[in-house]
Amino acid sequence: MDLDQLNEIACAMVAPGKGILAADESTGTIGKRFASINLDSTPDSRRDWREMLFRTEPAMSDRISGVILYDETIRQSAQDGTPLTKLITDAGSIPGIKVDTGAKPLAGAEGETITEGLDGLRDRLADYYELGARFAKWRAVINIGAKGDEAVPSQYCINTNMHALARYAALCQEANIVPIVEPEVIMDGDHSIERCYEVTEFSLKTLYRELFDQGVVLEGTILKPNMVISGTQAADRAGPEEVADMTVQCLANCVPAAVPGIAFLSGGQSDEEATHHLSLMNGSYDLPWPLTFSYGRALQAAPLQVWGGKAENVAAGQAAFNHRAKMNGLAALGEYEPEMEKEFA
Ligand code: 5MM
């Protein structure tokens, strides 16, 4: 394990004003995204979409520190034969790879899941390193039960998922790959922001205990958490200042200062909400780690709709991606204001 290399990559992933593009949708998920624009999901259409994003300038050079890829994508080449990973490195960005194989039903725990993918992971990581990946991602899924249902999430679900995350992280570091650890507390449901805080705190505290127990060096990791936020169906949803305040408080209570950086998921927030929340956190608090984005939907939804799967819309799709990347880059510096959406559009 080369700790200096791991720390150098981790710090580059959270460089000032930059963040991560999560383009690691599995075939099923990208199929659903393409269905919204009536586009067939094929290896070529998936390649065209991702090639368009990875060729977008100045977004890729100025705002995107790294790109999380899916197994198919890390092996694909652009229409002119250039490997997609080379488009990313040519822009000064870092290729990464999703290595979990998805959340599956957790035996004996109705409504809960365990993320799989540890079998054979050591060999897959060696292969991905050869293909150019310098960081990886594993996402644990923690659901919150309906209001009044304290049984979900269970301690069993949190313990098993955080244990698996730490096993993944240890294997990554052995392979000189920076692990992004992503314990996602899901936003769906009618729960309050206080309940989200409680579940997020429990998850993060368990995660850092497991990482310590398994000898993971925090200086060579990145945390990808949810924000502390009301459930999507909650009656009185908390406003942006409260989301920023409670998220920062929760992270400060749980995440050691040795962690090089925190890159949030958007988790079903609207594009502009996710950007605004990030900027508020960066503008108003003195924190031990940089806070940035590792967004999937919040970076891709707008360009996907504009592109619509048509070659003639590539320039317009890239303009939409440039815009979202710029807004989020500013948010990572605490310099975003919602009015800028019009100004820069
Ligand atoms: C890009 O979506 C990733 C999940 O894909 P699958 O469900 O198909 O495996 C997801 O892990 C993503 O990287 C993170 O959740 C962040 O994405 P969002 O859309 O929440 O910002």
Confidence (pLDDT) at 207: 99
- Helix 193-213, helix 155-174: angle, nearest 10: 50
Ligand 1 touching residue 296 (CB < 6 A): yes
Spatial distance between the Cα atoms of 252 and 272, rounded to a whole number of angstroms: 25
Neighbour-count burial for 131-143, b at 16+ CB within 10 Å, e otherwise: ebbbbbbbbbbbb
Confidence (pLDDT) at 9: 98
How many other β-carbons are positioned within 10 Å of the β-carbon of residue 57?
10
pTM: 0.98
The single-letter DSSP state of residue 60 is: I
CATH label of the domain that carries residue 129: 3.20.20.70
DSSP 3-state of 115: strand
**Mutation choice for ligand 1 from 30, 50, 53, 139, CB with most ligand atoms inside 8 A:** 139
- Atom index in ligand 1 nearest the CA of residue 184 equals 15
Confidence (pLDDT) at 123: 98
Confidence (pLDDT) at 311: 98
Ligand 1 touching residue 101 (CB < 6 A): no
Confidence (pLDDT) at 150: 87
Task: With residue 181 as reference, give the H or E element that holds it.
Answer: strand 178-185
Spatial distance between the Cα atoms of 209 and 59, rounded to a whole number of angstroms: 37
Structure tokens at 193: 């922001």
Instruction: Evaluate whether 72 touches 27 at the Cβ level (below 8 Å).
Output: yes
Looking at 25, 112, 182, 184, which residue is catalytic? 182
Confidence (pLDDT) at 342: 86
The single-letter DSSP state of residue 15 is: -
**Cα separation of the two ends of the chain:** 45
Structure tokens at 333: 């510096």
How many other β-carbons are positioned within 10 Å of the β-carbon of residue 45?
14
How many other β-carbons are positioned within 10 Å of the β-carbon of residue 155?
9
Instruction: Evaluate whether 19 touches 63 at the Cβ level (below 8 Å).
Output: yes
- Atom index in ligand 1 nearest the CA of residue 297 equals 19
pLDDT tens series, the chain, 345 aa:
899 999 999 999 999 999 999 999 999 999 999 999 999 999 999 999 999 999 999 999 999 999 999 999 999 999 999 999 999 999 999 999 999 999 999 999 999 999 999 999 999 999 999 999 999 999 999 999 998 888 999 999 999 999 999 999 999 999 999 999 999 999 999 999 999 999 999 999 999 999 999 999 999 999 999 999 999 999 999 999 999 999 999 999 999 999 999 999 999 999 999 999 999 999 999 999 999 999 999 999 999 999 999 999 999 999 999 999 999 999 999 999 999 998 655
Ligand 1 touching residue 295 (CB < 6 A): yes
Instruction: Output the furthest CA–CA distance in the chain (Å, rounded).
Output: 56
Spatial distance between the Cα atoms of 48 and 53, rounded to a whole number of angstroms: 9
Spatial distance between the Cα atoms of 84 and 87, rounded to a whole number of angstroms: 5
**Mutation choice for ligand 1 from 141, 297, 299, CB with most ligand atoms inside 8 A:** 297
The single-letter DSSP state of residue 311 is: G
Spatial distance between the Cα atoms of 68 and 23, rounded to a whole number of angstroms: 5
How many other β-carbons are positioned within 10 Å of the β-carbon of residue 80?
6
For residue 234, the enclosing domain spans: 3-344
Instruction: Evaluate whether 274 touches 293 at the Cβ level (below 8 Å).
Output: yes
Beta bridge partners of residue 98, listed in sequence order: 137
- Total domains, the chain: 1
